[in-house]
Amino acid sequence: MKKISYFTLICLFAATVTSCLKDEPPVLPETGDSPVKINEAYSNGGRSTYGAIDWVELYNDSDEAVDVSGYILYDKVDKIAKIIVTSNTTIAARAFLLVEVDVTGGFGLGSGGDMVYLEDSNGLLVDRIEFGALTPEQSYARNPDGSDVFKIQTPTPGVSNNGAVAQPSITDLAHTPASPTNDEDVIVTATVTAGEGTLTSVKVQWTLNTTPQTDITMTNAADVYSATIVKQVAGSAIAYSVVATNSAGGTSTVSGTYTVRDATVIDYTGLVINEIDGNGKFIELYNKGTVDIPLAGVTLVKNESATWWTGGAATLAAGEYYTISQSGQTDPGADETTGASGISPKQNLKFQLKDPDDNELDVFFRSNGEALGTIVIPAYDATTPKYAFARCPDGIGAFGLAEPSCDIANPFVPAGAIATDGGTTVKYSDLVINEVDGNGKFVEIHNKGTVPISLENVTIYKNISLANTLWWTGGSTVTIAAGGFYTIAQSGGAAGADEYTGNGGISPKKTVRFDLIAPDASMSIDVFARVKADDNTLDANCTPDYGSAPQYSFSRCPDGTGTFGLAAPSCNSANPATSAGAIETN
């Protein structure tokens, strides 16, 4: 094979601001002509010897050099994440340019399938390709170079695709049931096509607890191949591969795993998502219950579509943590590194925790109302510290910001709310608990933002780590003006409050915590906590007793942005710019 030189590309990121309705179909740019084509795509960077990160190969299908300065590659038509070819970049006649795309500001290619678009420097769409699932040993390529014939083949980064043997295509790999018990046989299925020539062999190779078993020949029904793995005892770890070979000599392998669970009914209700770190690339589970929970067949689903992780033979003890890192990560403390890619600190992101029967146990959902995967601000990869999204305290707190704590306890109180600016959703992070008065028996909320905010279904919980008492829920007609206050008192509380529906129990002489929580009940907005040093015990007597003269309230000074300190009560009006002193708890 003739080796052809290629350029090393330094990739720059260019951000664009787009505005579109969520349900609008994507609008493609005008098309143009260019001899430069997307010649090959590789979506499994770091998982083989064919590239440390995902890449796209461009090919100049002409007899003259082409200046590709300003050409753009992207995988979503919003073009928020894209690669712009740097100035003074030329592709020689019949030569190649290898572009690493999964870099800062760029985009990753989905190993389960994706699209790639190429625009010229005038903003005209000159090429696009769409491919399906690829293994780490496969790329999607024009073969011959520049032609309209595509093959799944052995990757050839930066050199000619001509002559590379096409591999069989294996898609839609599945095993049924997805989380089998010791009473159930398992049927492995996959759609298999030859790619080139004819299929000469399609079989399942499998191991039982790492011990190789006899291969199983798969049967064919309209390109859907199937084979049965007989039922095994509970706790058995099964690893299987569908291996297909064609008459041209190409071979493809796609693999799966499952762990056999006991048919006995298991209570999964204590299992929660406890922490998500988009920088450290891990998800931490926590068992808040009183019994151990086997994780076989438990799944984490990302953005409502892709299974990010499936539990194996591990069991999570009551009160303990289990952390899964993305594949290739080396986070100290993680229990396994088998998670798929795609945890981001700067995108709309949803993770669902599901039991083996696909029932939702818990959910994390950061959204500004736009599509999942859309980049939003703030990007918590640019903050100091680089925060994780964590339940504070473990298991029962709503999600807030916290420094990463892989496989260990989260803080008792979050560092702040998870902000999601822009988009179409309400910016609840502009709300704060502004004042708590144990004498006047009220809690004051302040809107430090610039637009009114509905308080419908916003809640206040008291002493969340004890009985998790719901203290107040906002009604359908309640709105807090920009820069305004809204005060809730318990029955008999101070004059001037907006309502007297608080559930009781505010004390100036006890440890206490109040959590302001968004309507979906998963996101923390703000927290006030008066606790003893190194002791998070709540509802305990402490000194000083601020019920004695002078009767202070606990107030943010100044409103909205200050830390909590002592101040004269100011129900539904501004707090002092500075406090009268620190809140003591002895």
Q: Are 199 and 189 in contact (CB under 8 A)?
A: no
Q: How far apart are CA 325 and CA 283, in angstroms?
A: 6
Predicted local distance difference test score (pLDDT) of residue 468: 62
Q: Two tokens at 189?
A: 């299925």
CATH of domain 271-402: 2.60.40.1260
CATH of domain 169-259: 2.60.40.10
Q: How far apart are CA 80 and CA 75, in angstroms?
A: 10
Over the stretch 307-337, which tens digit does the pLDDT of each residue have?
A: 999 999 899 999 999 999 987 676 568 999 9
Domains 6-153 and 428-567 share a fold: yes
Q: Two tokens at 143?
A: 């073969």
Q: How far apart are CA 173 and CA 274, in angstroms?
A: 31
Is residue 25 pLDDT above 50, yes or no?
no
Q: Are 296 and 322 in contact (CB under 8 A)?
A: no
Q: How far apart are CA 70 and CA 9, in angstroms?
A: 12
Q: Are 168 and 199 in contact (CB under 8 A)?
A: yes
Q: Return the SS3 of 430.
A: helix
**Nearest Cα to 132, choosing from 67, 193, 223?**
193
Higher pLDDT, 153 or 3: 153
**Radius of gyration of the chain, Cα coordinates, nearest whole angstrom:** 29
Predicted local distance difference test score (pLDDT) of residue 420: 83
How would CATH label the architecture of 428-567? Answer: Sandwich (2.60)
Is residue 22 pLDDT above 60, yes or no?
no
Q: Are 536 and 543 in contact (CB under 8 A)?
A: no
Over the stretch 434-475, which tens digit does the pLDDT of each residue have?
A: 999 999 999 999 999 999 999 999 999 999 876 568 999 999
Over the stretch 413-440, which tens digit does the pLDDT of each residue have?
A: 999 999 887 777 888 999 999 999 999 9
Is residue 18 pLDDT above 50, yes or no?
no
How would CATH label the architecture of 6-153? Answer: Sandwich (2.60)
CA dihedral 507, 509, 512, 517 (to 10 degrees): 40
Predicted local distance difference test score (pLDDT) of residue 24: 44
Higher pLDDT, 213 or 385: 213
Q: Are 460 and 409 in contact (CB under 8 A)?
A: no
State what percent of residues in the chain have pLDDT above 70: 94
**Nearest Cα to 186, choosing from 163, 166, 216?**
216
521: confidence class by pLDDT, cuts 50, 70, 90: confident
Domain boundaries along the sequence of the chain: 6-153, 169-259, 271-402, 428-567
Q: How far apart are CA 41 and CA 57, in angstroms?
A: 6
Over the stretch 73-94, which tens digit does the pLDDT of each residue have?
A: 999 888 888 999 999 999 999 9
Any idea which residue has 């790329």 for tokens? Answer: 139
Burial readout 159-174 (b: 16 or more C-beta within 10 A, e: otherwise): bbbeebbbbbbbbebe
- Average pLDDT rounded to a whole number, residues 231-242: 95
Burial readout 145-154 (b: 16 or more C-beta within 10 A, e: otherwise): bbeeebbbbb
**Nearest Cα to 327, choosing from 347, 308, 346, 353?**
308
By 3-state DSSP, what share of the chain in percent is helix, strand and coil, each rounded to 5?
A: 0, 40, 60
Any idea which residue has 């990302």 for tokens? Answer: 302
Predicted local distance difference test score (pLDDT) of residue 188: 98
Predicted local distance difference test score (pLDDT) of residue 201: 97
Instruction: Tell me, letter by letter, the H, E, C secondary structure of 53-99.
Output: CCEEEEEECCCCCEECCCCEEECCCCCCCEEECCCCCEECCCCEEEE
Q: How many residues does the chain have?
A: 586
582: confidence class by pLDDT, cuts 50, 70, 90: very high
Q: Are 386 and 345 in contact (CB under 8 A)?
A: yes
Least confident of 84-93, 133-142, 425-434, 531-540: 531-540
Any idea which residue has 């302001």 for tokens? Answer: 516
- Give the CA angle between residues 554, 555, 558 to the nearest 5°: 160
